[in-house]
Homo-oligomer: A and B are copies of this chain.
Amino acid sequence: MKQAKKKAFRDFITQKGLKSTRQRDVILDCFLASARHISIEELYLKLRAKNPNIGYATVYRTLKLFAESGIAREIQFGDGQTRYEHATEGEHHDHLVCTRCGKIIEFENETIEKLQEEVAKSHGFLIENHKLELYGVCSLCKK
């Protein structure tokens, strides 16, 4: 899994004529070792702990590369923090977000996806992408 993503990114780098650098390796390792939804700031701080010289700009630029290569996906939960999640080719999942504790649960629902396609078709749209987020209170916070 992690190896597959590392390979995918390596291939992307080669194919684009870019360069493989120590920083990109470090950032990729750190990203892959992180929670599925990590904010740029969280990742930066985690990186700084072991690599005091790494720059914010490098983290931003590298995450954009991850997204472009398909191993990560940018998500916004509307709290002003841009997050990146691990992405797997062709796979998509939606999110349940607890508005109290911030917990994020992923889910997939084929029926919903099919209905989305139908809605799009009825409006002449060709879907490239979608975002479904349910905000609410998780079971623990309900107590």
Contacts and interface: CB of A to CB of B under 8 A. Distances in A.
Interface of A: 74, 76, 78, 96, 98-99, 105, 107, 109, 111-112, 115-116, 119-120, 123-139, 142
Contacts of A132: 116, 130-133
Secondary structure of the A contact surface, majority rule:
strand
Copies assembled: 2
16 contacts: A74-B78, A96-B119, A96-B125, A98-B125, A107-B119, A107-B123, A115-B115, A124-B139, A124-B142, A125-B136, A125-B138, A125-B139, A126-B142, A128-B136, A131-B131, A132-B133
Contacts of A131: 78, 131-133, 135
A87 B126 CA distance: 27
